[in-house]
Amino acid sequence: MNEPKNRGKGVYILPNLLTTGGMFFGFYAIMAALSGQFENGAMAILVAGVFDFLDGRVARAMNATSAFGKEYDSLADFLSFGIAPAVLLHQWALVPFARVGWAAAFLFTVCGALRLARFNVQHYTQDERVSKRYFQGLPTPAAAGILSATVLFYVEMGFSSDVGSATGDGLWRWLPLFLVFTLGILMVSSIRFRSFKDFSWHRKRPFLSQVVVVVFLAMMTIHLAVTLFVVSIAYLSSILHSHREYQKLLAEGKEIEEDEVKDLSV
């Protein structure tokens, strides 16, 4: 009688171990940022994103989802994608801006916490009309990934020297500050971003999908930082299409606002 029970515990442990792995890399990113190892910190956040991608999918594939796992994953996300990127960007680029830089990093952290809390509340409802195809607001892992890709891009292109200097000027010095404020606001906005959970193009055209993946991997091998930065900007630009698409479906009655299903006021 104890054998099935033990197997069940093992099933639940695996997704939580993946979540813990993601949290480890988030914590490492903070330590690296405080030590001035900004490139390592940025890479660690991206690795944490891979673990975050895997833990939920492994849990669903093994039918091992639980309320504990969801809460644990949310706390790990706050560390890896709320606190870690804010510390990284502050130490790397925002210190010369004094209080404005400190406020930008804090705003990003708070918006990340609010974004995660809103996501958790919205997904407690079982109403099937609530869209799974769109995220309300920029997902925290995506925001953290964009900031990490920016750090790697600056290092790759040799722009990092202007960022940490109080005397540096020009667009490249101001872009990180602008990004931190913008991404923080986007996380708590009502703008819709595609979740790609219903993405089926790879099933309809499997051969072409494989070619696209191979080309993407080749580009990452040649210029990882540049590829990640371009993909990040492309994803941000997609809001112009995804939000308009959502509004069209909403007008046709094929989508429903989350606030109509559950009161989110506190």
Residue 227 and residue 217 in contact, taking contact as beta carbons nearer than 8 Å: no
pLDDT of residue 11: 58
What's the CATH code of the domain at 183? 1.20.120.1760
pLDDT tens digits for 28-71? 999 999 999 999 999 999 999 999 999 888 888 888 788 888 89
pLDDT of residue 4: 45
Average of pLDDT values for 200-218?
Answer: 62
| Domain housing 118 | 2-261
In a domain, 266, yes or no: no
In a domain, 28, yes or no: yes
From 188, 37, 175, 39, select the one nearest 109 (Cα to Cα).
188
Residues 6+ apart with CB under 8 A from 125: 258, 261, 262
pLDDT tens digits for 51-62? 999 988 888 888
Number of domains in the chain: 1
In a domain, 234, yes or no: yes
Confidence of residue 253 (pLDDT cuts 50, 70, 90): low
pLDDT tens digits for 103-143? 999 999 999 999 999 888 876 554 555 556 778 889 999 99
In a domain, 162, yes or no: yes
In a domain, 150, yes or no: yes
The DSSP result for the chain, as a single string, is -HHHHHHHHHHHHHHHHHHHHHHHHHHHHHHHHHTT-HHHHHHHHHHHHHHHHHHHHHHHHTT---HHHHHHHHHHHIIIIIIHHHHHHIIIIIGGGTHHHHHHHHHHHHHHHHHHHHHHHHTT---TTB-SSEEES--HHHHHHHHHHHHHHHHHHT-HHHHT-TT--SHHHHHHHHHHHHHHHHHTS--EEE--TT--HHHHSHHHHHHHHHHHHHHHHH-HHHHHHHHHHHHHHTHHHHHHHHHHHHHTTS-B-HHHHS----
In a domain, 233, yes or no: yes
